[in-house]
Structure 1
């Protein structure tokens, strides 16, 4: 699953770097040559739409999404495990719905031969198809994690469910931050 997260993160990074270079070029061309590439705002919209599900995927795989856990830490371990399983399944349900919505959008786009109302007049089927693919990547990750959580439930591995699917505790976040600080301080000494 970590490899899958790296692929999604790398794709996200490549698209964002390309977009940054394009926006920089557009800005410099406008400033110094009074020339515009035209459609960079359109390209930005496509990049954000495609990259958002990739970012969702990375956050999901690395358990970095926001979880409100006011009550969860007060539950017994089995209760925390059940909450984590429900959260994992609900994330899968959301991801599946997003893929369904994306596919319906592409079907409508294909039906009406929709094009962007911009200087490029891009047939929307192309960027939307890539968008569906990135949504599907998110859904596959969510489903795979839910299956993993269900397996732990069937084994009654409450600690595993809490460890792999639960939000970080205050202590674990503190340890993580202190380790990060120590690494930065060591790099500064070199």
Structure 2
């Protein structure tokens, strides 16, 4: 299951990366156009939207690729059980925070849907166009985080400490992931 989620997240990362590349091209074109006294306008707004979307969708990719930062001071001093316990604890905390963010993001989207809200900018972008994929990214991250936590907890309870550490630990070789 986790391998399939990694494959899906890699696809999502490619789409998000391509979107960021398009955004960078849009901003670069606008900067060049400013040199000839014209502009698209709204590049700051579009770039902000792109960053919000990249963040919400990129977090799950980073999680499954073991890229999130952890403070390793205590964890590194213990044996495999201690390291696995710290790893599972950190996943429980992170999942709790991400689930809370996803829950709190819904009223923001709901209010935009109900009110037909638009950005207070020259583009007057309908906020639902940006907030819906942003919200979906947080839901996806909450789902990935929860599934990862439950899988790691299952490994820990079956006393597969090394496997737990390899699955959600830090500084793991890519070969170990496969």
TM-score (norm 1): 0.83
- 1:160 and 2:152 aligned: no
Find the partner of 1:29 among 22, 29, 33.
33
Structure 1 stretches of 4+ with a deviation exceeding 6 A read: none
Find the partner of 1:89 among 88, 92, 112.
92
The separation in 1 between residues aligned to 2:39 and 2:105, in whole angstroms, is: 32
- On the 8 A contact 2:23/2:50 being kept in 1, the answer is yes
The separation in 1 between residues aligned to 2:136 and 2:81, in whole angstroms, is: 36
After TM superposition, the structure 1 = structure 2 runs for residues 25-64 of structure 1, keeping only pairs within 5 Å, are 25-32=29-36, 34-64=37-67
Structure 1 residues without counterparts, runs of 5 or longer: 174-190
- Bigger Rg over Cα: 1
For 2:24, the equivalent position in structure 1 comes to: 20
- On the 8 A contact 2:87/2:169 being kept in 1, the answer is yes
The separation in 1 between residues aligned to 2:47 and 2:26, in whole angstroms, is: 9
Give the secondary structure class of the aligned counterpart of 2:35.
helix
After TM superposition, the structure 1 = structure 2 runs for residues 66-145 of structure 1, keeping only pairs within 5 Å, are 66-145=69-148
- 1:10 and 2:4 aligned: no
- On the 8 A contact 1:109/1:124 being kept in 2, the answer is yes
**Number of residue pairs matched?**
170
Structure 2 residues without counterparts, runs of 5 or longer: none
Deviation at 1:5, TM superposition (A): 2.3
The separation in 1 between residues aligned to 2:110 and 2:42, in whole angstroms, is: 24
The separation in 1 between residues aligned to 2:100 and 2:11, in whole angstroms, is: 23
The separation in 1 between residues aligned to 2:132 and 2:13, in whole angstroms, is: 19
Listed one character per residue, the Cα deviations across residues 92-144 of structure 1 (whole Å, up to 9, x for unaligned) are: 11211121121111112223332101111111111101101111221121112
TM-score (norm 2): 0.89
Deviation at 1:8, TM superposition (A): 2.4
Listed one character per residue, the Cα deviations across residues 129-187 of structure 1 (whole Å, up to 9, x for unaligned) are: 11011112211211121121022022111111112111117xx69xxxxxxxxxxxxxx
